[in-house]
A and B are shown apart, each in its own frame.
Chain A
């Protein structure tokens, strides 16, 4: 469906090119002689696992970082971007995956931050800014008052603001690093329409996403990066999903299948009529009288769009958020009134969605993070036993296959996937009966994803009840025995492992686009 746009002039003109770019951080070669072309009016998609060097390359192309070697050619002439502002002035903008908005300011003020429009007397021309902001929002089909404070917006809407800001500078080249990670299907749809509109006006787009299927829809030209080097490049019409994955990881990849050959145990987790109020304080419920039970050894996947209430459900079950109604039972015992710590003691644990914000203590070592939830178990008399702690840490590192220099290594030295394994590993050290994982695959690469799923499947065969949420259909169809689709706080459908992707997506209220 996207190949239609490929029928342009024979050889698309290259507007920005990287030639033999190398980047060295300390002893790490992040990029090794990369050649990368951005073509006028085309969407060039960059695929690659975490740590492959995608973000580094984009930071170099947008002036955020300087290359150790190599040259950048803008319209065929060598350039050096001294800063991201310099790059922006020459028409190259980047939308970072982590939002850089000021939550205390309005949408309007954020869009024009740092380059406010002036009136004749030198003041800020708020009226004109508001008008332009409203026009941008109309383009993005987002019903948003320019005077709304950013902190009052949903994450997806904040991302729209970020995109609007990049659009407002009239860039010739727009780099989008994971722009859709927080967007709903409709919002993604609109964004793609905007991208098409931009490319038809001659704007060149570089697109990076972990959502491979989604990225395939928009891409004109795909480039795959692995270990700091380009492994493959091809036009859209010549490639498919399998080609991307093959080139990303270097082999055929499979996220696994539901573990079998054993009987489920008794019911481990029961959720009864659980309701959770919406965080925004409105009357709507984030979770609406939801009931669910999970047996020991069973793996349940909760699929849903952003805002379907998955996170609220899991956080409430774990004790982070107080429900407005309903009960949570662990092996028949009501745990609704217990604190998070008490629930962990009873065997109910949560691996949170945002591992940076909720999962890890950045100031502590890998080992201290791993032992944190079970630290009370190593007390001898009044003091900790370092030997027993080390045994547990080393065991855990081996058990969940964390690639690290050792328990003493700083947590920041690990890759995203390994950090995620630390968050999962630390909860597993408490020997839980039920583990809840909110988007365990978020922001980690295919290889790490498969490893995480293998680990969970293996634990399930030993009687652990696993509940994980995801927004990628492919992940539902991996290890889950049962797939629950959530929509607007309710269970809208329930499937076995043999369901088709389209059925899941239809039940979630998502347009069938693939």
Chain B
């Protein structure tokens, strides 16, 4: 039992024999990744090596973790534009805490250990998500607008807090007991960068939550049809608030890893990262209308973006071209999503693919909400 989509596509593949068109369509993110690796390996001798893959993976981790949070929000039918700013604020707060918190009334400064910093920062991310969630679930502000506003507010707070400056000293002091912040960004576990390990853990936890927990089912249901979910007893508001909080926590974790990797915490960090995260989710096959998508696809989407842009850097293509390529990949992904979902809708039953017909929208739509009643 996995999420509602994959088993169906899989059984579809088996039932219809080997359909190369459908195989390419269903597994497009995977094949895109393979193609990217092959092309860049040919173009550059440095690309195809374990060391390079691990380096690229640690870049991917930044977007990958953000994208997991974004996936949850998108499955719910929402969008979270504030994650880039939240990442920045969380990094700055971490930097601030590492400098020590002066307590003037006692004449001392408090130097919290790194794990306390991490917990506080994650809690901060959750609070930002809570604000988003409450605005959206309780006050019915459209997700796009609510998170857009929060994006500006949070970025502004980060800038105010530091007056636009960057914290460069995150190392801590051994005698204060707050060293170790660089662990997240530089250490490796069995050769794998910690950031990548964290991403893998989050992806696995997220996958289990989506596929094997009631919350996951609630999320898919409320994203697919909120009214039906509510009448089935799904606590749709709680689900909605929770996904934004989880997205905020993902942003906070990313903020910690990024500032650790960069050994500095700047208020402008993570600018426009929310868009990359959305792109990863979309390339991974999730529907922005909610209810469809999974972690596996999102991870592939993050790797496609990361491996593509790093590959372009390695073969020395200008960053302007990188932007063009990334954009083209996103557009292509959305196009393919549209084709896939249209196919699915048009199939009258599970017996197999139906040839394309001149009126794509006019007929046969057992999956369109308004259409049914007598599909005679």
Identity of the chain B residue whose Cβ is nearest the Cβ of A97 in the assembled complex:
B373
Is the CB–CB distance between A408 and B8 below 8 Å? yes
Name the distance in Å between A410's Cβ and chain B's nearest Cβ.
Answer: 6
CB-defined contacts of B8 to chain A, threshold 8 Å: 365, 408, 410
Is the CB–CB distance between B359 and A65 below 8 Å? yes
Identity of the chain A residue whose Cβ is nearest the Cβ of B223 in the assembled complex:
A363
Choose the segment among A159-167, A323-331, A344-352 that binds chain B (4+ C-beta atoms closer than 8 Å).
Answer: A344-352
Name the distance in Å between B364's Cβ and chain A's nearest Cβ.
Answer: 6
1/0 per position for B115-129, CB-CB distance to A under 8 A?
000000000000000
- A376 sits at the interface (CB 8 A): yes
* Bound form: Cα–Cα A26–B367 in Å: 16
Number of A interface residues in the complex (CB < 8 A): 75
Is the CB–CB distance between A361 and B233 below 8 Å? no
Q: Given contacts A26-B348, A357-B369, are A364 and B224 in contact (CB under 8 A)?
A: yes
Is the CB–CB distance between A375 and B348 below 8 Å? no
Name the distance in Å between B77's Cβ and chain A's nearest Cβ.
Answer: 10
Interface centre among B348, B357, B368 (most CB of A within 10 A): B348
Name the distance in Å between B193's Cβ and chain A's nearest Cβ.
Answer: 29
Q: Which of B1-16 contact A (CB under 8 A)?
A: 1, 4-5, 7-8, 11
* Bound form: Cα–Cα A295–B62 in Å: 60
1/0 per position for A358-375, CB-CB distance to B under 8 A?
111111110010011101
- A262 sits at the interface (CB 8 A): no
1/0 per position for B208-238, CB-CB distance to A under 8 A?
1000111001101101110111111111000
Is the CB–CB distance between B227 and A416 below 8 Å? no
Is the CB–CB distance between A412 and B345 below 8 Å? yes
1/0 per position for A317-355, CB-CB distance to B under 8 A?
010100000000000000000011100110000101001
Q: Given contacts A26-B352, A98-B370, A363-B223, are A51 and B231 in contact (CB under 8 A)?
A: no
Interface residues on B, range: 35 or more
- B353 sits at the interface (CB 8 A): yes
Is the CB–CB distance between A413 and B349 below 8 Å? yes
* Bound form: Cα–Cα A203–B368 in Å: 32
Is the CB–CB distance between B367 and A412 below 8 Å? yes
- A186 sits at the interface (CB 8 A): no
List chain B positions with a Cβ less than 8 A from chain A.
Answer: 1, 4-5, 7-8, 11, 208, 212-214, 217-218, 220-221, 223-225, 227-235, 287, 290-292, 344-345, 347-354, 357-359, 362-364, 366-376
Q: Would you list 20 pairs from A and B whose C-beta atoms are within 8 A, ordered by A residue?
A: A26-B347, A26-B354, A27-B352, A28-B348, A50-B375, A54-B374, A65-B357, A66-B359, A99-B370, A177-B374, A318-B231, A344-B232, A345-B233, A360-B225, A362-B369, A364-B220, A368-B220, A372-B229, A427-B232, A430-B233
List chain A positions with a Cβ less than 8 A from chain B.
Answer: 25-28, 48-56, 59, 64-66, 83-84, 97-99, 177-178, 181, 210, 318, 320, 339-341, 344-345, 350, 352, 355-365, 368, 371-373, 375-376, 379, 382-384, 386, 389-390, 405, 408-416, 419, 426-427, 430, 442-443
For the complex with contacts A178-B374, A352-B231, A430-B233, 12 further pairs of A-B residues with Cβ separation under 8 Å are A26-B351, A27-B351, A49-B376, A358-B227, A361-B224, A362-B369, A363-B287, A364-B224, A365-B8, A386-B1, A413-B350, A443-B373
